Structure 1
Amino acid sequence: MKRILKVLLGLVGVLILAALVWLYDPLPATPSAASLSKGMADYPVEIIRDQWGVPHIFGKTDADVSFGLAYAHAEDDYQTTQETIAATRGVLARYRGAKAAPTDYIVALMGIWKTVDSRYQQDVPDDVKAIATAYAEGLNLYAAHHPDKTWDGLAPFTAQDVVAGFMFKTPFFYSLDKSLLSYFDVERDLELALAPNAQQQALQVRPAQGGELGSNAMAVAAKRSGDATTRLLINSHQPMTGPVAWYEAHAVSEEGWNMLGGVFPGTPVILHGFSPNLGWANTVNHIDLVDSYVLTRNPNNELQYRLDDKWQDFAVEELTIKVKLFGPFHYPATRRVLRSVHGPVIEAGDNTIAIRYAGMDEIRQLEQYYRLNKSQNFAQFTQSMALNALPSINYIYADRADNIGFIHNAQYPARADGWDWSKDLPGDRSDLIWQGYRPYSEVPKLINPKSGLVFNANNTPFNATDGPDNLSADQFPASMGLATNQTNRSLRFMEMNDGVQTLDRDAILAQKFDTRYSQDSDYVAIINKVLQLDLSDKPVLAAAQAHLQAWDLNTDIDNPHAALAIVLLRQIIRGESPDDHSDAALVSALSDAVTYMNKHFDGYQVPWGTVNRLVRGDTDVPISGGPDILRAIYSIGYTPDEKPKATHGDTWIALVEWNANGLLDANLIHQFGSATSDTRSPHFDDQAPLFASEQWRKAEFDKATLRAQAERIYRPQDFSVQ
């Protein structure tokens, strides 16, 4: 028996050793510093860090500036940049393990690198390749200077990484990720659209869950301002940290590029901001830009599907995702990726669904952003927008010539009219596979409206001004999938504007920092349902209900009733069943809210600022606002054992002004500071107290003034490479 046991243990040892050999797959070492830095001499650039640590990057060419932007951003947040590039390459699981494998799969499903490989050389213009290459070289130089911070196997970075990053991320701004997750749900009910004029009704689309984040934007023409000044409010709502958190930068070249604004890790151009001549703000738009097709598989060949009464072969890719286990050991997980003529195919239980979406196989996103950055007037801005390469995102525009405008931008699929495209489409009809997009001329837009005001708060495009010339639904075909929703923020914009009153600087700021819920908002409707509950047999909850009854719908920091209201709303909206507003669900949510407040704050009768906190480094201060408030503050992801803190919402904000002579003046603020991940820097949280108290910094464009006030001036290419 002992001999048998020894033999068995020996076999187990051999098997373990064989498994370790099979799983052993170390990441390649980072290339030498000399190799990574060989391109730095091609990009002479000067970086001026102002007193807030914000980089102002000056170069002779646009490529020089792109190079400097990459280096400066890496100084402040190299970790997130690397995370972004690893995700874009579809190799994040090699670093983050199994939880990142779905991201790698989606990169393959979207065909990001197949598109790059087939289209980069011919469809990316040389000047766009130049800034993408320069940006990659800036990251490579930083990697050369900081090999200890560089992930093994990731460098060298390439221009293709930069271009692919835009391709991967831009569709998620219209919630492609939520659509994909719903299609992977094996319990999802198929909602088949019927042919036009059919009498039977299909099932209704399930509403989006969890509440919506969003953005605010506003532009006021000189005639409405009271002081002959054109104003633009830039106020997108983003996560406060991570790959889509704003980083402020100023890009200046001798080739006419002069933009200040926000960028994300991995982006070599300003995504929204302003120049001395013009500016724009972006908000997310809720347009139906994803179509799903139910495929019929061949019962005799699972790799075929029916199309026009014929069996067609799927394009099949065998994907291997290397999943980090520990140390140098990675598990090679395999999965097939199917594609039909419609687009990527999702297999979920018995359902086989092909999807077609705005931005699919598109590669020109960086080009359009670059053209927008170089625009000097409204005509050039319009020409840049007409590239129609960005799958979604609203634009609120203003310029020194007193033009203002709202553009409900998207790549609108050229769909056949008559069908309900919000449902699943039959996948066996080739006539339903749309080709291309509607031209930019058909994109909904409102330029220089009569009232002199445009705004958006992620609401329907049919409320974009307070004058008589709003767009209307009958101007556009239903197949465009335009939204009809309102948000609390859009309701408040409409309640506070009447088409005639003066909107000077103070009035704009009062609206931007408004802290009230509209009586017509979905949030107040939920609270009203709670107030109607019969809690006579639950005295503790009845007392809480009475406390809610006294709430004036404000979320200012001193408000004594907002805390219970907002915690209750969070319990519902961020819970597992956000659409369940039954009496039982509301009673449970109220009970949970009371329990939470008793645990963390010794009761719910505390000022809102006691609960609503901006926390960063050594800063921990009260802040007004709340979910879907114009002063937008969200606390997402905290558990019942944690106190909340601000995680999303208002982040980088700018108020841009051109006076009657066309001269620029701008104020701005970041929620934390320029050192977005460097906890040792004084700029990790130096703007947070200003942000919480609704104060501003002055924007500065003049180079001489910047040099005189600079905290630091340097040229990255002058640093020694070890």
Structure 2
Amino acid sequence: MLFRSWVGTFFLLAAVALVSCAREEPALDADKLLERAKQYDVRILRDTWGVPHVFGKRDADTAFGIGFAHSEDDFATIQESLLAGRGELASVKGPKGMPTDLLAAAIRLWDVLNAKYETDLSPEIRAICEAYAEGVNLYAAQHPDAMLKPSVFPASGKDVVAGFVLKTPLFFRLDRELKDVLSFKRKHPVSQRNGSESLKQDTAECEGVSLFDIFTQGAELGSNTAAVAPSRSADGWTRLNINSHQPWTGQVAWYEAHLHSEEGMDIVGGLFPGSPIILHGHNRNLGWAHTVNQPDLTDVYVLEMNPDNPNQYRFDGQWRDLDVRYARIKCRLAGPLQWTFRREVSWSVHGPIIRRPHGVYAIRYAGMGEIRQIEQWYRMGKAQNFEEWQTAVKMRGIASFNMGYADREGNIYYLYNALLPVRMEGYDWKQYLPGNTSETLWTDFIPFDNLPQIINPAAGFVMNCNNTPFQATADGENLKPENFSLTLGLDTEMTNRAYRYLELLGGDDQITRDEFLEYKYDIAYSDQSDARKLLDGLFAMPPSDDPLVREAVELLKTWDYRTDLENRAAALAILTLEPIVRARMFGGSEPDIVQLLKERAAMLMNKYGRLDVPWGDINRLVRGTVDIGLSGGPDTLHAVYGNLTDGRLVGMAGDCYILLAEWDREGKVHSSSIHQFGSATMNPESPHYADQAPLFAACKLKPVWLDESDIRANLEREYRPGE
């Protein structure tokens, strides 16, 4: 009887869920949206690579055009970005989207947006966001079968801003702090002021993988940038390498566009699905690149809860009430079946709280409540000289990222951009903090002028490859760590890419264009790299009793630490070393190198019948009918990260959209670029689905056309949205 009752209840609930899921969702009126589109004066010119050059009368017209054009190439991912910002991703992606929706609810994203959208954003950027949403809406109305969830439409300008607010904290690893708190046991001690937990300048990372792989696809978020001044160029030109390492697909994968308006916008570069503006690139006069930095911008507090009231915590000697709230998150379970989960999203004075068996925690991060990220990027792109660009950066709407800069005047600049909290000395801010005192509750940030930054060094170059800001140019001109408080939590690590760039740029005082590109595509590991140190340690061990391991070690001893296509030792070396280097860089337990070598050697023998498989047979770019070998590897300047699939590393992140900006002696800009796939990144029916892949694999660039006459000389199609 009990069993039948339970079964009956289950099918009743399932029926309710199915009925809920099957409700007719609102449809867009295509005719009405076409009529609204007439207010936007915009033309889309697709060049022979499929890249959209969007010409609008106003900036808002251009935003409308790129919203439509990008939807033509990757509508599904744009929708995922909108759903994530709405806190509705799980309703389409299932349990995988639950953490993202919970984060949106926990940070009270829409409370912040509704309170600040009209006050904190300029009329110009609001018009741009609304226009972009209109462009996406028009495409959706004309392609109703491509909608993932019709009720998400019509999208609004607030939806566009929501995507920026949600994603930017994940670039400084807010997600890893949350993963740490959500572990089965407490990961860190609670620091006491001037107590036994002393301040240490280290780079210990949280264990586990990101909760928000829905954005990153589990890929490393690295990047390279370098700027060379006329004084160090053989031809007197200024050059900027814009070379972010992103996942090759997904919500933070690059899309190339050129945006031009009669209001002064004329910029080419990369943007993410859901973005109406260029995030890094160049205009006629200046350019910038981002690399991910890892300042300590997030703190975790352990709350002292009232034993008589679970919704009160002690703060400065008094019990305070939590701001208790619950979120309802819809999650698709299977097919049309969905369920609504109720989750607590309460706040303390610090920020969102998380209840765990090992304690109640509060999270505080730099930029909480900030919605001006998109405004700052817009102003940076409209700037016409260094002073205007730096004024935009000083908005401080963007809480992190290194920035490399160059311009037509020959200026070069490196900035360790970070919204660094002013913290009380004496606590170990790498550990958890006591939440019962205002001593640990920071509210201010160090001034912009106190951030690590270098402008126009005598050496004539600056660079960053996700490394410490204290190694950005030649020796003697770098900043000194002792001049910065340990409470700031600045990066102290180096990467192989950073070592190599410093060796290459620092060793050449007259860099030609060919050399600048050669250095960008460098495929070697430095003598100072972890790869060298790990193998030196392996070679110092007593010989193994296993004959396969001994054979593998002998092959590794022949490796020249390069990753060219025909290299016979690189495959075994990288397959063995990559999991160890990954664990060191991103947290997690470090595997035993001998056991790993044994496993990788056995895999190569089983798959290929030999250990010395050419690297290009292992390291592959696969897209549609394209299946091609790649040089480069993990943490080389020509960076490639792959998923191990059937004995091959199939590329999924690393070098992707690469943009080279150059200014000649007269200050005229020249530009070239490449994308790992093509402009139609998610449309296998398009000729531009993978047409750039062969050039990418050959380490070559294509031209970027900025003048309309040049675009028309290389024109594939011209049209207006909706035509």
Contact 2:577 2:593 in 1 (8 A): no
Look up the match of 1:428.
436
Of 16, 29, 38, the match for 2:11: 16
Shift of 1:96: 1.4
Q: In structure 2, do the counterparts of structure 1 residues 362 and 581 end up closer, same or farther at CA, with 3 Å as the change threshold?
A: closer
SS in 1 for 2:498: helix
Look up the match of 1:57.
54
Of 165, 171, 179, the match for 2:177: 179
Look up the match of 1:263.
271
Shift of 1:633: 0.5
Q: In structure 2, do the counterparts of structure 1 residues 534 and 295 end up closer, same or farther at CA, with 3 Å as the change threshold?
A: same
Contact 1:37 1:144 in 2 (8 A): no
Look up the match of 2:243.
235
Shift of 1:610: 0.9
Of 357, 370, 388, the match for 1:362: 370
Indicate yes or no: 2:636 matched with 1:629: yes
Indicate yes or no: 2:122 matched with 1:125: yes
Q: TM-score if structure 2 supplies the norm length?
A: 0.94
What amino acid maps onto 1:408 in structure 2? Y
Indicate yes or no: 2:669 matched with 1:664: yes
What amino acid maps onto 2:160 in structure 1? V
Between the aligned partners of 1:8 and 1:578, the Cα distance in structure 2 is: 46
Look up the match of 1:286.
294
Between the aligned partners of 2:250 and 2:396, the Cα distance in structure 1 is: 28
Matches within 5 A, 1:338-417: 338-417=346-425
Q: In structure 2, do the counterparts of structure 1 residues 406 and 327 end up closer, same or farther at CA, with 3 Å as the change threshold?
A: same
Shift of 1:475: 2.4
Shift of 1:313: 0.8
Between the aligned partners of 1:100 and 1:8, the Cα distance in structure 2 is: 33
Indicate yes or no: 2:693 matched with 1:695: no
Shift of 1:399: 0.3
Indicate yes or no: 2:66 matched with 1:69: yes
What amino acid maps onto 1:692 in structure 2? A
SS in 2 for 1:635: strand
Of 138, 142, 146, the match for 1:141: 138
Shift of 1:8: 8.1
Contact 2:177 2:206 in 1 (8 A): no
Contact 2:180 2:187 in 1 (8 A): no
Q: In structure 2, do the counterparts of structure 1 residues 269 and 22 end up closer, same or farther at CA, with 3 Å as the change threshold?
A: closer
Between the aligned partners of 1:613 and 1:697, the Cα distance in structure 2 is: 21
Of 596, 600, 613, the match for 1:593: 600
Shift of 1:41: 1.5
Contact 1:193 1:202 in 2 (8 A): no
Indicate yes or no: 2:682 matched with 1:684: no
Contact 1:548 1:564 in 2 (8 A): yes
For residues 109-129 of structure 1, give each alpha carbon's deviation from its aligned partner in whole angstroms, at most 9, with x where no partner exists: 122111112111211111110
For residues 487-543 of structure 1, give each alpha carbon's deviation from its aligned partner in whole angstroms, at most 9, with x where no partner exists: 011111222243762122122112111111112112222222332333431111111
Shift of 1:575: 7.1
Between the aligned partners of 2:89 and 2:609, the Cα distance in structure 1 is: 43
Q: In structure 2, do the counterparts of structure 1 residues 79 and 483 end up closer, same or farther at CA, with 3 Å as the change threshold?
A: same
Matches within 5 A, 1:267-346: 267-346=275-354
For residues 337-370 of structure 1, give each alpha carbon's deviation from its aligned partner in whole angstroms, at most 9, with x where no partner exists: 1211011112222221111111211111011011
Shift of 1:51: 0.5
What amino acid maps onto 1:24 in structure 2? V
Between the aligned partners of 2:203 and 2:630, the Cα distance in structure 1 is: 37
Q: In structure 2, do the counterparts of structure 1 residues 208 and 329 end up closer, same or farther at CA, with 3 Å as the change threshold?
A: closer
SS in 2 for 1:405: strand
Of 570, 573, 576, the match for 2:578: 570
Shift of 1:208: 4.9
What amino acid maps onto 1:59 in structure 2? G
Shift of 1:206: 4.3
Contact 1:278 1:399 in 2 (8 A): yes
Of 144, 153, 156, the match for 1:155: 153
Between the aligned partners of 1:15 and 1:559, the Cα distance in structure 2 is: 59
SS in 1 for 2:421: coil
Between the aligned partners of 1:493 and 1:487, the Cα distance in structure 2 is: 10
For residues 403-447 of structure 1, give each alpha carbon's deviation from its aligned partner in whole angstroms, at most 9, with x where no partner exists: 100010011112223332111111001132111322222221101
Shift of 1:477: 2.0
Indicate yes or no: 2:449 matched with 1:441: yes
Q: In structure 2, do the counterparts of structure 1 residues 17 and 642 end up closer, same or farther at CA, with 3 Å as the change threshold?
A: farther
Contact 2:220 2:247 in 1 (8 A): no
Shift of 1:92: 0.9
More divergent stretch after superposition (355-364 vs 29-38): 29-38
What amino acid maps onto 1:344 in structure 2? P
Contact 1:464 1:470 in 2 (8 A): yes
More divergent stretch after superposition (568-577 vs 291-300): 568-577
What amino acid maps onto 1:157 in structure 2? A
For residues 445-484 of structure 1, give each alpha carbon's deviation from its aligned partner in whole angstroms, at most 9, with x where no partner exists: 1011111100000111011111522111122222221111
What amino acid maps onto 1:695 in structure 2? K
The aligned length equals 708
Q: In structure 2, do the counterparts of structure 1 residues 525 and 150 end up closer, same or farther at CA, with 3 Å as the change threshold?
A: same
SS in 2 for 1:279: strand
Contact 1:186 1:351 in 2 (8 A): no
Look up the match of 1:191.
189
Of 657, 661, 667, the match for 1:652: 657
Contact 1:213 1:628 in 2 (8 A): no
Contact 2:324 2:345 in 1 (8 A): yes
Between the aligned partners of 1:15 and 1:581, the Cα distance in structure 2 is: 45
For residues 599-632 of structure 1, give each alpha carbon's deviation from its aligned partner in whole angstroms, at most 9, with x where no partner exists: 3333221111111111111111111111100110
More divergent stretch after superposition (30-39 vs 275-284): 30-39
Between the aligned partners of 1:19 and 1:607, the Cα distance in structure 2 is: 54
Of all paired residues, the percent bearing the same amino acid is 43
More divergent stretch after superposition (595-604 vs 124-133): 595-604
Indicate yes or no: 2:76 matched with 1:79: yes
For residues 661-682 of structure 1, give each alpha carbon's deviation from its aligned partner in whole angstroms, at most 9, with x where no partner exists: 0011112111110001000111
Shift of 1:159: 0.3
Matches within 5 A, 1:473-484: 473-484=481-492
The gaps in structure 1 that reach 5 residues or longer are: none
Between the aligned partners of 2:587 and 2:116, the Cα distance in structure 1 is: 43
Contact 1:283 1:393 in 2 (8 A): yes
Between the aligned partners of 1:12 and 1:524, the Cα distance in structure 2 is: 61
Q: In structure 2, do the counterparts of structure 1 residues 357 and 634 end up closer, same or farther at CA, with 3 Å as the change threshold?
A: same
Indicate yes or no: 2:507 matched with 1:502: no
Contact 2:626 2:690 in 1 (8 A): yes
Matches within 5 A, 1:594-609: 594-609=601-616
Shift of 1:397: 0.3
Cα RMSD after superposing both structures: 2.2
The gaps in structure 2 that reach 5 residues or longer are: 210-218
Shift of 1:270: 0.4
Q: In structure 2, do the counterparts of structure 1 residues 9 and 407 end up closer, same or farther at CA, with 3 Å as the change threshold?
A: closer
SS in 2 for 1:682: coil
Look up the match of 2:479.
471
SS in 1 for 2:151: coil
Indicate yes or no: 2:239 matched with 1:244: no
SS in 2 for 1:25: helix
Contact 1:37 1:140 in 2 (8 A): no
Between the aligned partners of 1:412 and 1:288, the Cα distance in structure 2 is: 8
Between the aligned partners of 1:18 and 1:390, the Cα distance in structure 2 is: 45
Look up the match of 1:615.
622
What amino acid maps onto 2:367 in structure 1? G
